[in-house]
Each structure stands twice: as C-alpha cells, then as structure tokens.
Amino acid sequence: MRNLNTSVLGSVALLVLFLVLWQWGPGLLGMPEFVMPQLSRVAQESQLMWQTGDLLQHTLITAFEIIVGFALGALLGVMIGVSLGLSPSAEAMLSPYILALQIAPKVAFAPLFVMWLGYTIYPKILIAILIVFFPVMINVLSAIRTVDPDMINLVRTMNASRWQIFRLVEFPSAMAALFSGLRIASTLAVIGVTVGELVGGNQGLGFLLVDAEGQGNTAGVFVAIVMLTLIGVLAYGAVVWAEKRVLHYLPKAMLSTQ
C-alpha cells in the first residue's frame, strides 16, 4: 500500500512538473506562440471551441469511430485467432496473406478507403479495424496454441465435446493473452481513426487538427491532440478495468498456463 501511494504521488508530481514547464517554459525560452503556446492559451482556446460546440461535436464523432472500430476489429481478431489456433492447416494456408496485410502500411489504405466510401465515418472505422485486428488475432492464436495439453486430456476423459473443451479450457486460458492484445489495440484504434480523419475527413478531432493547422492556430492543434490523448487514455483504462473484472472470476490455474 505504501509503495502504491508513493507511485501515485510520483505520477502526480511529474504531471504537475510537466504542466508548470508547459505554462512557463515557452516564455523562458523565448518561443513565439505559433511555435509553442502556453498552457493557459491552450486552455482558453479549448474553452472557446467548447462554447461554439465544435469541440464536443468532433470529440463525440471521433470517440464513436474509435469505439466501433475497436469493437469490430477485436471481434474479428478473436474469431480469426481462434479459428487459426484450432486449425493448423488453415493457419498455414492463410497466415502469409494475413502477414502481408499487416506489413502493408495502413496509412496507404486511407486515401483508397476515402475514394471508395467518401468523406464519411466508414473509412476511419475500416482503418481502425485493420490496425486493431492483428495484435488481438496474434495474441489469441498464440494462446490457443499454448494451452496445457494435460488440461485438455483431463476434460476429454470426462467425455467432453469439442465445444466443451473450447469453452471450459481453451478460451478461458486465452483470456489473459486476449486482454494483452486489447490493451495494445485500444491505443492503436485511436491512431487509426486519427490517420483516417487527417487524410480524408470533414469531421472529428483529426479534421479539427488539420483545420486549426491550416489557420495557423497552434493552440487549436494542441487542443485536438490533448483530446485525442484523453480518449486514448480512457480507452486503455476501460480495457484494464474490464480485464480486472473478467480475469478476477477465472480460476488461477487457467491463467497460469500463459
């Protein structure tokens, strides 16, 4: 408990130091506002953007795209990961194509999706799905492959069906690895949606960032960056909260197999 309190106090102290440097550092270094605005200037700009309604509207749009892209990408990753983990032949056949899709730069797909689907939310969601899919899939695949065979054999001696083996042994054993992938994917979803909005968006925080940059409004750029960071932190925190809630109910024997 004492170590926890020390860590929290250390984190708070670092945050305060960062904010102090942000507020007074640019002035001490003689930086003009268009290069590095002070924290108070960014706060004023965020208040102005909030009052006009632009900040709230664009934040909600980006948050919606992130949630949908993350959910669909994670679901697809779990389905493909489980399927390939249970079928080595399917993995051998499909893994080169999945790897090629992962290696291909996702930014290159953004203009293509915009050309196909227009300036809508769908290109951003598709990019988020592509980015989220791989870390979830590979973690689930590896976990399914490394399940303790003794546990599987034990359940088989009880005349368990293939579905029961998966439900009682394989999937619970893969939960820890799944949430590790979801932690990574929660931050990548923010990156994917932002890339899509930067390349071809007319709404969302990415668009707000580009619009502020075009007007030379550096404070507005920082407002968009801060909001994107907050969404990413909240997404990561939600995954961590869900992980603690779910893994708390799983037997420790299941988790120790990872």
Alpha helices in 106-174 (DSSP H): 106-117, 122-145, 149-156, 162-165, 171-173
Under a CB-based contact definition with an 8 Å cutoff, are residues 179 and 244 in contact? Answer: no
Under a CB-based contact definition with an 8 Å cutoff, are residues 246 and 177 in contact? Answer: no
Q: What is the pLDDT of residue 65?
A: 95
Residues 6+ apart with CB under 8 A from 36: 25, 26, 218
Q: What is the pLDDT of residue 144?
A: 87
* Distance from C-alpha of 23 to C-alpha of 254, rounded to nearest angstrom: 49
Consecutive 10-residue runs of the chain (258 residues): their mean pLDDT?
71 86 81 81 87 86 95 94 85 82 80 85 92 92 83 79 79 87 93 88 87 87 93 94 80 49
Domains recognised in the chain with CATH numbers: 40-255 (1.10.3720.10)
DSSP string over 193-219: HHHHHHHH-SSSHHHHHHHHHHTT-HH
How many Å separate Cα 184 from the centre of its chain? 6
Under a CB-based contact definition with an 8 Å cutoff, are residues 178 and 73 in contact? Answer: no
DSSP secondary-structure letter at 258?
-
Select from 79, 73, 80, 138 the least CA-distant residue to 106: 73
Query: Taking CA 144 as the corner, what is the angle to CA 67 and CA 103, rounded to the nearest 5 degrees?
Result: 60
Q: What is the pLDDT of residue 160?
A: 76
R_g (Cα) of the chain, nearest Å: 22
Q: What is the pLDDT of residue 250?
A: 60
pTM: 0.85
